[in-house]
Amino acid sequence: MDRSIFLSANGSNYLMSAQLANINNLANLNTPGFRADVPSFASQNITGDGLQSRVFSTLQSQGADFTPGSIVPTGNQLDLAIDGDGWIAVQGTGGAEGYTRAGNLKLSAEGFLMTQDGRRVLGNGGPISIPASEKIEIGKDGTISAKPLGQGADSLVQVDRIKLVKPQHDLLSRGLDGLFYRTDNTSSMADPSIMVVPGAYEKSNVDAVGSLVNMIDFARQYEIHMKMMKLAEDNSDKSSQVMQVS
């Protein structure tokens, strides 16, 4: 295989990876608390016979943009948005502790506080369970209080406190289920300094205009690589013709 074809094929392959990440970001434009994918690529010299003048791309990591999204007030008693840095701890795949910024919560039929995709929210002693109540309040520190059915207006009792954590960003990696997990396979300690905004949720941090511009840019770069491969093929055919004539 001509080396230029190899380099063009390599470049087009990773442009497709970048485009897929970009498309996934656009697909999650309206997903509460979503963190945009940021693929990281590196250039490496090709080693071997001849001059080391050719460079190919490698995918180093699939990171994320941790910039907070905008907060949208809803008035829903179960909604919350984290004010600043921090995460909501939930029960992830296989029982592991996962993290999300999606604060548009709900109650299951069994009374468990859950994310919209069915992940149980963790509290001081595990998944948070709320008894049948007329009113539920979430404090700025994540404390959950409820007024049981049939009780007076002043009978608000504390049920639990949402586990809010603040692990370092370089320790987090997105799982296949969309949650973030610690790369060292441990759990984070609750951070009492994290505050929330009750009755609101955080929007996705995806930049729609920037993602659309990236989509066009990636498509043009991919087209250039295809033209380079076609040019290498044409040069090879012409060289073969010259050899036949001689």
Q: Is the pTM of this model over 0.75?
A: yes
pLDDT at 51: 58
Q: State the pLDDT at residue 58.
A: 64
pLDDT digits (tens, 9 = 90+) for 13-22: 777 888 889 9
DSSP letters for the chain: --HHHHHHHHHHHHHHHHHHHHHHHHHTTTSTT---EEEEEEEEEPPSSS----EEEEEEEEEE--PPPPEEE---TTBEEEESS-EEEEE-GGG-EEEE---B-EE-TTSBEE-TTSPBBEETTEE-B--SEEEEEE-TTSEEEEEETT--TT--EEEEE--EE---GGGEEE-TTS-EEETTS-PPPP-TT-EEEETEEEPP---HHHHHHHHHHHHHHHHHHHHHHHHHHHHHHHHHHHHHH-
pLDDT digits (tens, 9 = 90+) for 81-140: 999 999 999 999 888 999 999 999 999 999 999 999 999 999 988 999 998 888 899 999
User: Domain limits of the chain?
Assistant: 3-66+206-245, 71-202
Mean pLDDT confidence for 175-194: 94
CA distance 241 to 41: 39
Q: If you count them, how many residues does the chain have? A: 246
| C-beta of residue 144 within 8 angstroms of C-beta of residue 130 | yes
In the predicted structure, residue 60 carries a pLDDT above the cut 60: no
Does residue 241 register a pLDDT over 70? Answer: no
